[in-house]
Structure formats: structure tokens, C-alpha cells
Structure 1
Amino acid sequence: MISLETQHFNINRILLLIIGLWPYQRSRLVEFQLIILYGTLMTFIVFQLTSFITSECTLDFIYKVLSSAFFFICLAIKYNSFWINADILRSSLKQLQDVCNEIEDKNEIAIVEKYGIKAKRITIKLLLLGICCQFTILLIYIWPYICHIVVLKNKFRSPSPSYIETEYFIDKEKYFYLITLHRHVAICIGILAMIATGTMLLTYLQHTCAMFNIACYRIEKAINISQKNSSKNEKKSYKEIIRAVNIHCNAIKLINFLISNFEGSFFCLIAAGMVCLCCNLLRVVSFTDNIGQFILSLNILIGLYLYLFLSNYTAQEITDHNEYVFATVYNVCWYMAPIRIQKMILFLLQRGTKSFHVILGGVLVTSLQSAASLTSTSISYFTVLYSTRQD
């Protein structure tokens, strides 16, 4: 028996538990944890936007604030989407577990294990990348202090780099350490939320790819059985085809159920992400001598483009796996099967004429082509902003 929570989603479970988003065991303490963590993230966004109140709103200043604020808005959207859709996520995991409970064939279990290991490897790599990103952001803040101490021979004076513009309406010198703590805790929560939620969805979708692969295996098995001239074998072949169709339909239902309930969140994420990409591209190209700001914007760009690519790549995998099911139906020796089996195969071939795509936010048909299109669009918007800035 396959236990998804303990075998395949264990890393995702730990990450989501840290930020209070694991959909099970939602006690009052967990709800309090959610309020504190989400509140920290949201207040950091607010204190970035309040800088417009006390500062002169030049174009450079606007782009500087928006480049970081919209990045944290993206992180908050991801956090909030899992918070409000906890019941949906719990139901999706239950449905996936029910499908896995019906799998008894050793080869089918091996297929699920293969995709589970793949998802785990991606999760670990993204987690390590997130830790590196967090360390880099921390380093660009403490580096001026290190240099200052070395230059002044251990006489410490408090420089105040402002790579992320904020306004707390308090004495920045007096409460410097509290402001710094709030900033880095918010960054840590946001990055962890992005990794935890993103890898959770990725792992879930990888398991639906496994279901498509199992459907291919069952079709091949059914045709092999049907080639043995026996009424008993013909009945077995029927059952295998029915099981293949069922798991294929279940995979599509699971994907549609999860994605459709996150539709509003994905739409907001796409819109906020595009604004963030454009502003940070502008910040990178406009680099003069502020190396800290350049590294920060570059980190944000790498994170967002990586997220864009991985989400579209995973969706492309789902489309490819779905098409491979029907390619398998076409390529097997179905013409050697009994006439009644051939008629069932024809129905499957007709169903294969309709493509299946994952649609995010109700507007974006996700694929590698869409990733390239979004990248091109962000660069086009950036070009327009850059030309107006030059004028």
C-alpha cells in the first residue's frame, strides 16, 4: 500500500507545517501561527508601500518600491491561496490517496515510486536554492557592516543600507534592530512559503503524471492479454482497459479539481508577477553603483523566472503524458486483438483527438510555449517602461 503523506509528501509536509499551512490538524495554535506569520508578511508589504507617503515619488523611487513590494505580494498570494483553500487541498490529497490505495500491481507501484522520488529531488533542490537566496539577501545587508568594521579597525558605526525601501513611522536609528529583524523574518517566511506551496503543487501534479503512465501500462497489458485466444483472457483484457480508462479520467479530474479552485489566486499571481518582473528588469538594467540593489533585483528575477519555467514545464509534462496515453493506444498491436476489443480501442482513439491542457487563472494555457510568451511579454513591458524613463 502506498502512503502518500509518509512516503512521498513527507518533505512537503514538514515545510508546510513550519509555516502553518499543512491542511491537516488545524488546531487553534496552528491558526494563531498562521495569523502571526501571515501578519508579519503583510505588514512588511504595507510598510514598503507607506514609503510613498513620506518620500518624493520620482520614477526611480516608484520602481524601487514596486520592484520589491510586488515580489512580496506574490509571496503573500501564494501563502493566502493555501490558507483559504486548505479544505480543497485536503480533499485533493484524499482523492489522490484513494486512487493510490487501488494500485496493487508491483509495476504500477514502481511507477508511482519513480515519480515520487523525482518530485522529492526537485523539492530538495529548490529548498537548497531558497536557502542560498536567503543567505545572499542576508549577506548583502551585513556586508557593509563587515567592511565598515574592517576599515575603521573594529570601531563599529551603524550604516543603513536601504535596498528595500520601508517607512515604519518610528526612529530608524533607535529601532534599527527591530526593523532589521522584521525585514529578514518576513523575507524568510515569504521564500519558505513560495517553496513549500510551489513544491507541494509540483509533487501533486507529478503523481497525476504517474497516473497517466499507469494508464499506458494497463493498455499495453490489456492488448498483450487479448492476443491470447481465450474468452477468459478477453474478459481480463476488458477489465484492464476499463481500469486504464478509469485512472486516466481520475487523473484529469484531480488536476481540474485542484487547479480550478486555485483559479483566482493564480490570476492575481500572474498579474502581480508581471509587474514585479518588469520593475526588477528595469532596476537591473538601470544599475549604476548600488551592487546590493542589483543583487537583490537579480535574485528576485531568477526566483520568478524559475517559478515561471517550472510551473509551465510541469503543466507541459501533464499535457505530454496525456498525449502519450493515446499514442500508446495507437502504437500497440490493437489490430491483432478481438473485434470487441478493437471497438473499445477506437473510442479511445477518438477521445485522443481532444487535447488536455492545464489552465491557470482561467486565462493562461500553461506550456513551455506559454513560459516563453510570458517571458517575452515581460521584456516587452520592460522595454516600454525603460523607453519612457529615458525620455
Structure 2
Amino acid sequence: MCILALLHYHIRFRRRKKMIRLETQYFNLNRILLLAIGLWPYKQSNLTRLQFIFLSTILMTSLIFQCTPFISQKCTPDFVVQVLSSASSFAVIVIKYNMFCVNIEVMKDLLEQLQHIYNELKDKNEYAIINEYGCNARRCTAAFTICAICCVFAVIVAQFWSRIFDITLPMNVSRSYSLPITMEYFVDQEKYFYWILLHLYISFCIGVTAMVGIGTTLIAYLQHMCGMVRISSYRIKRAVDINTLKNNNLENEILILQGIISAVDIHRKAIKLFQLLAFKIEKMLFCLIVVGVVSVSLNLFQIFQIALSYGDDIKDILFPFLSVTLSILYMFVANYVAQDVTDHNNDFFATVYDVQWHETPLHIQKLILFLLQKGTKKFTISVGGLFVGSLECFATLVKTSISYFTVIYSTH
């Protein structure tokens, strides 16, 4: 009866597991965000491609109109910094939005491979590990979405703050309305002010949605891959269990070998997915790092200039402040996740070292020694061989941004 009950539970567990789709269980909010900007991998119809072209055109025209002041106005050093500070921030969005679209088939393939691995999990403990990492990714997506909504709300309120005061506390002095950043549309900006503002804020909302949706999707991918590495550590512990080693017979040796093979197999698949993802988005990350560092430096200088001039309009400093804050936050999260990947890989080999491998038969000890030798080579996520994802890299990027800011200020 006990055997039948266990068999019935195992069948029910397998059926319940196979019914669950990762895209609906853990990627639901990511799916909504990417659907809104036409980048969800499973919904690439002709209408979706038209949606992407339309939204990409809005972003590109917004970036172009931020650069056109160089044509119509005199280019002093202060003016160049002022224009480039906002244009570089939008350039980050345009790069990420378009380059993610180029790799959208890769993202679909990664999700399908994760689903396939999920369907091959062996017991409820492994399912619980994946569920833990999936919930972490889902909470991270929800937190960044809430922050993005607050940022959009703050920018809109700051823009219309003076108009709100005109309604609540009317004054005889007429207020001048201006755009939050320098742009040139080659039309009468006072006459078409609200149309220009609408275009700017639509592009801003699209950009924020793209940054959050793409960024959190990549985080979710990496979190599930970290869960796979954690499962490999669990399988090693279960394979080389002290209770199994007490009964040194052929059957237990076969069980140990099967456990080690399954642990190495899922670890190998996780590393392969890490490398595939890093290789496909390497160019995008390199461009984002370079443009992001430039953006932080220029916006820091812009904030310093506004502070020195004692500007009293909140929207003048809000855009550069948000750009600096969000860029630094993005750098930190990206490097923290990459550091987490390295730590999980190190934990796997530390687990291999900590188990009672010296109590196993000699041929199994030789097999485990190969794993220990493999662990001497540190696994990292690098970008172009120049940037290695880690907290140290984050500190280096921030330091570099501040150094460039110092150079610009001293030159000025």
C-alpha cells in the first residue's frame, strides 16, 4: 500500500508539474510588459512587428529631435553638455529596445529550454528550489514596475506643477512653459507645445517600459539558471549521502553514479545557457555600458550646473537626477545578478568539496576529482573581455563616471 501511495503521489506530482508553464507561472508580469512594447517572444505576428516599428519610430524620432538643436543653435560647451546629457539617456533606451528585438528568437529558445529542464525535475525539493528562484524574479519584476510607475508619475507631476498652482493659487504674473529637456522640432514650440510634450512623454513611457520589461526578463532568466545550479548542488548532496555510503554495495554505487551524472548534467546545461545568453547580448551590454557611463558623467555635470545657478524649477533638475539614479541602479542590479551567478557556480564546487567524497569507492573519487579540478577555473559573465560582471565592476563603472565628470568640470 505504501509503495502504491508513493507511486500515486509521484504520478500526481509529475502531472501537476507538466501542466505548469513558466511563462504563465513566473514570467506573467514580464509577458505583460513585453507585450505592451511588442517584444514578447511568443507573440511575433505581423501586427506585433508593426507595433514594434511604430514604437521604435517614436523612440528614434525623440532621440533625433533631442540632437537637432545642434543644427539650429550655437554649440557652446555648456549647450553641448546640456543636449548630450538627455540624448545619451534616451540612446541607452533605443539601444536596448532595438538590440533585444534582434535577439528575440534567442530569448524564445532560452525560455523553451528552461521549460524543458523544468519538466525533467526529479522531486518536490527540486521543484521547490525552482519555485523559490522564480518567485524572487517575480518579486523583482513587481518592485521595478512599481518604481517605474512612480518615476513616470513624478516626471508628469513636475512638468504640470506650475499649471496646478495656476489653478489652485492663481497669480497675476504669467508663467512661461518650457520643455523639461532641450529639443528642436523646427516648428513654433509655443503653438504646438502640448503635441511636442505628448510625443516626449509617450517616448518616455515606452522607454521606461522597455527598460523595466527587458531588464527584469533577463534577471528572471538568470535567476532560473541560478536555480538550476542550486539543484545541481542538491543532487550532489543527495547522491553522496552518508546513509548511502554506509551500505557499500553495487546498487548504491550505481545510485551514486547516477546522482553525480544528473547533477553534472543540469550544471552543464545551466552553464551552457549562461554562456549563450551572455554571448547573444554581449554587444548590447557593451554599448549600454559605454553610453551609460557617458550619460552618468554628463548628467552629473548637468545637476552640478543647475545647483550652482540656483535653479528654482524642479523639472530642470528632475530629468538629470532620474537619469543618474536609474543608470546607477541599473548598473548595480546588472552587476549584482552577474556576481550572483559566479557565487552560485562557486557554491556548487564548494558543495562537491564538502560532501563525503573520500568515503566513496575509488573510481567514484576519481570522477569527483575531475569536478574539483573543473572548479579551479572561475566562471564569470564578461562583456567583450573588458568588463566582468561583479560588484567590483560596478564600483569601477561608478568611479569611471565620476572621473569623467571631474574631467568635464575641471575643463569647464
User: Which TM-score applies when normalising by structure 1?
Assistant: 0.96
Cα deviations by residue, 1:295-346 (Å, 9 ceiling, x for unpaired): 2211111100000000000000000000000100111111112222211111
Deviates more, 1:297-306 or 1:282-291: 282-291
From the superposition, tell whether residues 173 and 161 of structure 1 become closer, same or farther in structure 2 (CA, over 3 Å): closer
SS in structure 1 at match of 2:240? helix
Is 1:385 aligned to residue 403 of structure 2?
Answer: no
Equivalent residue, structure 2, for 1:24? 42
Provide the residue aligned with 2:293 in structure 1: 274
Q: What value does the CA root-mean-square deviation take over the aligned residues?
A: 1.5
Q: Does 1:60 align with 2:83?
A: no
Amino acid corresponding to residue 187 of structure 2 in structure 1? I
Partner of 1:238: 257
Q: Name which of 356, 363, 367 aligns with 2:386.
A: 363
CA contact (8 A) 2:179 2:197 kept: no
Q: Which residue of 1 aligns with 2:125?
A: 107
The alpha carbon displacement at 1:48 in A equals: 0.5
> Quick check: 1:322 aligned with 2:341?
no
Aligned to 2:283: 264
Q: Which amino acid in the other structure matches residue 299 of structure 2?
A: N
More deviation, 172-181/141-150: 141-150
1:50 aligns with 2:68: yes
Q: Identify if the C-alpha distance between structure 1 residues 12 and 361 changes in structure 2 by more than 3 Å, giving closer, same or farther.
A: farther
Cα offset for 1:360? Answer: 2.4
For the residue of structure 2 that corresponds to 1:104, the secondary structure is coil
Alignment of 1:196-207 (within 5 A): 196-207=213-224
Q: Are residues 1:41 and 2:59 paired?
A: yes
From 142, 146, 149, the equivalent of 1:131 is 149
For 2:369, the aligned partner's letter is: L
**Matched ranges for 1:145-184 at <5 A:** 145-152=163-170, 159-184=176-201
* Percentage of identical aligned residues: 46
* Structure 2 counterpart SS, 1:25: coil
Are residues 1:229 and 2:252 paired?
no
Counterpart of 2:14 in structure 1 is none
The whole-number CA distance in structure 2 between the counterparts of 1:197 and 1:81 is 11
1:351 aligns with 2:374: yes
Aligned-residue offset at 1:203: 0.3
Does the Cα contact within 8 Å between 1:265 and 1:361 map onto a contact in 2?
A: no
Contact 2:103 2:280 survives alignment (8 Å): yes
CA–CA distance in structure 1, aligned partners of residues 23 and 127 of structure 2: 15
Cα drift, residue 146 of structure 1: 1.8
Q: Does 1:372 align with 2:395?
A: yes
Displacement of 1:150? 4.0
2:302: which partner in 1?
283
Q: Are 2:235 and 1:218 equivalent residues in the alignment?
A: yes
* In structure 1, distance between residues paired with 2:314 and 2:299: 14
Q: For structure 1, which segment, 142-151 or 366-375, has the greater mean C-alpha deviation from structure 2 after superposition?
A: 142-151
Query: Contact conserved, 1:112 with 1:207, CA < 8 A, in 2?
Result: yes
Partner of 2:322: 299
Structure 1 match to 2:12: none
- Unaligned segments of structure 1, at least 5 residues: none
- Give the Cα–Cα distance (whole angstroms) in 1 for the partners of residues 343 and 111 of structure 2: 23
The runs of at least 4 aligned residues of structure 1 exceeding 2 Å deviation read 147-153, 155-159, 225-228, 360-363
The answer to whether the Cα contact below 8 Å between 1:67 and 1:280 also exists between their aligned partners in 2 is yes
- CA deviations 1:46-96 (Å, max 9, x no partner) are 000001111121222111111111101101111112111111111111122
Q: Which moved further from structure 2: 224-233 or 18-27?
A: 224-233
Instruction: Report matched runs for 1:66-81 at 5 Å.
Output: 66-81=84-99
| More moved, 359-368 vs 118-127 | 359-368
SS in 2 for 1:174: coil
Q: Which moves more between the two structures, 44-53 or 172-181?
A: 172-181
- Aligned residues, how many? 388
- Kindly indicate whether the alpha-carbon contact (under 8 Å) linking 1:279 and 1:382 is maintained by their aligned counterparts in 2: yes
State the distance in 1 between where 2:55 and 2:175 align.
28
Say which of 183, 208, 219 aligns to 1:191.
208
Report the residue type matching 1:242 in the other structure.
I
